[in-house]
Amino acid sequence: VQLQAFGGGLVQAGGCLRLSCAASGRTFSSYAMGWFRQAPGKEREFVGAIKWSGTYTYYADSVKGRFTISRDDAKNTVYLQMNSLRPEDTAVYYCAAGKRVVARPTEYHYWGQGTQVTVSS
């Protein structure tokens, strides 16, 4: 599976963005999809993930209630809708594919290249 994340940009605090992650490969629908982020000087951080069936999502406490993950298997795409953005959400955002909805990045086998999100105060 090859992944490509896009949709990042510069937004003011309180604004919103939607990231997309396009996947190639016929087995996309069998993978759980996760979103992670990494700010400068910090470790990669789990944001959220969605089960292969789309019936279960799991979010980090820091984004719960503000971010929503969805997937469209017909388009081989997973989305991260980010609302009420804060300056501390500034990071490079990565999508990843794995077998389970978990927070550990080592459980994900395929990674996209990342897209920059910058939230200004």
Written as one string, the DSSP assignment of 59-116 is E-TTTTTTEEEEEEGGGTEEEEEE-S--GGG-EEEEEEEESS--S-GGGEEEE---EE
pLDDT score at 95? 98
- pLDDT (tens digit, 9 = 90+) per residue, 70-97? 999 999 999 999 999 999 999 999 999 9
| Band (28; pLDDT cuts 50, 70, 90) | confident
- pLDDT (tens digit, 9 = 90+) per residue, 45-75? 999 999 999 999 999 999 999 999 999 999 9
